[in-house]
Amino acid sequence: MTIADDINPISPLAMTREQFVAACAQLGVGSGRAKTGYAKVYRQGIAHAQPAKITVPPIVKRLEEQTPEGLTIKFVQRLPNDNHQLAHKGIDFDDIESVIIPMIGRSTRKTHTLCVSSQVGCAMGCGFCETAQMGLIRSLTAEEIVAQWWAAKHIEGIHIDNIVFMGMGEPLDNLDEVFRAIECLTDRAGAAIPMSAITISTVGRVDGLRRIKQQVQTHGWRKLGLALSLNAPNDQVRDELMPLNKKWNMQGLQDILVELREVRGGRKIMIEYVLIPGVNNASEHAAQVAEWMKPFMKGTIAAGKKRGHGGLLNIIPYNPIRNSPWPAPTEAQVEEFVGWLMNHGIFVNRRRTKGRSTMAACGQLGTEEIRKRNFVPLTTNQECND
């Protein structure tokens, strides 16, 4: 028996290869054995390859929806939960959801984007969001985030090209673990997802955006993608829809995003806008959104280019959540709003709501079982550390 067979194996799921080799060295395992174990876990999907061993939460539910681009798959993983508050309610697990979304790009090549969760539930309380109804149950560890990629790649068997942090939770509420997960997912010896193919989406925690501003100035992070869920034309509507706006308003958001645009060398920021009839879809709303977008659109239309340098507005038709006070917009309402924005010189993408029937579209995650666990008060006015 070799030393590597003899030791308690280590999970490399939240480690770069370098970190894993260092951890193995502490146990007397040579770098060759460590590198082989690491590669087997990440590249071949072998869960136990001494000195590496991972425990990936099982997939307990799976939903598919056929779309014109291919099959959208939502899967639910069940994590153990030792929270005593929950135990007395007879709940000893946490469910998290991930979605694999097929896309056909301009080159007609089909790619797959994995939408990952960063928390179980969410504390942000956005009015249009299914997950918000759960409250925050807990944040995920980096290992649990990377395990979603592993399940998509090695259980579902789908090569993942892009990763977006748009599932359950606000990633900027769990930034240490999200950064650690990204560091691991981008390791060329492991998952090897390019930094430019990873996007963090936020509802606008300015303290977190300031940390991202620092992070993207470190080696290898400059191309990290960034998306903002804007969803409102002005502070009055945004305060109503997204309580976080009372702490960090649209002007503050615009300021930090302009700074981020500069330090990221002008790379574009995706601005998401869920279109809700009777709430944010009037012609004056389009004018206000266009005004707010101005600093990000410089050089776009004037230079006659199809893609913006600084910002790109995605219009997402609202998917009604359960007991929703609002309906979905009609096709005509979406077209009308997009037309107004374009007349204001804004380059707009109209996003199809993939996964309407699997409840997998943006802001629509949250399972039937775990939605019953809304025991944590919403904390939208939480303190920031800056």
> What does the binding site for ligand SF4 look like in residue numbers (CB under 6 A)?
122, 124-126, 129, 131-132, 168-170, 203, 363
Q: How far is the CB of 314 from ligand SF4 (least distance, A)?
A: 14
User: Which residue, 126 or 151, has its beta carbon nearer to ligand SF4?
Assistant: 126
Exposure string of 278-294, with b = 16+ CB inside 10 Å and e = fewer, is ebbbbeebbebbbebbe
> CA-to-CA distance for 101 and 112, rounded, in angstroms?
6
CB 146 within 8 A of CB 193: no
* Joined tokens for residue 148: 């979603």
Exposure string of 322-342, with b = 16+ CB inside 10 Å and e = fewer, is eeeeeebbeeebbebbbebbe
User: Which residue, 72 or 319, has its beta carbon nearer to ligand SF4?
Assistant: 319
Contacts of 312 (CB under 8 A, 6+ apart): 268, 269, 270, 271, 347, 349
Q: How far is the CB of 274 from ligand SF4 (least distance, A)?
A: 8
Q: How far is the CB of 101 from ligand SF4 (least distance, A)?
A: 17
The CB density around residue 269, as the number of other CB atoms within 10 Å, is: 19
Strands, E assignment, 326-372: 348-350
Instruction: Strand 198-202: give its sheet, edge to edge.
Output: 59-67, 70-80, 93-104, 110-115, 162-165, 198-202, 225-229, 269-275, 311-317, 348-350
Q: How far is the CB of 3 from ligand SF4 (least distance, A)?
A: 45
Which member of 24, 122, 126, 362 is catalytic?
362
User: Which residue, 37 or 169, has its beta carbon nearer to ligand SF4?
Assistant: 169
Q: How far is the CB of 126 from ligand SF4 (least distance, A)?
A: 3
User: Which residue, 76 or 168, has its beta carbon nearer to ligand SF4?
Assistant: 168
CB 367 within 8 A of CB 95: yes
User: Which residue, 41 or 122, has its beta carbon nearer to ligand SF4?
Assistant: 122
> CA-to-CA distance for 145 and 86, rounded, in angstroms?
22
Q: What is the largest CA-CA distance in the chain?
A: 74
User: Which residue, 9 or 204, has its beta carbon nearer to ligand SF4?
Assistant: 204
> CA-to-CA distance for 280 and 234, rounded, in angstroms?
9
Q: How far is the CB of 118 from ligand SF4 (least distance, A)?
A: 9
DSSP-assigned letters across all residues of 267-333: --EEEEEEE-TTTS-SHHHHHHHHHHHHHHHTTTTTTT-SS-SSEEEEEEE--PPTT-SS-PPPHHH
User: Which residue, 51 or 363, has its beta carbon nearer to ligand SF4?
Assistant: 363
Q: How far is the CB of 216 from ligand SF4 (least distance, A)?
A: 21
- 362 is a catalytic site residue: yes
CB 172 within 8 A of CB 205: yes
Query: Known catalytic residues?
Result: 362
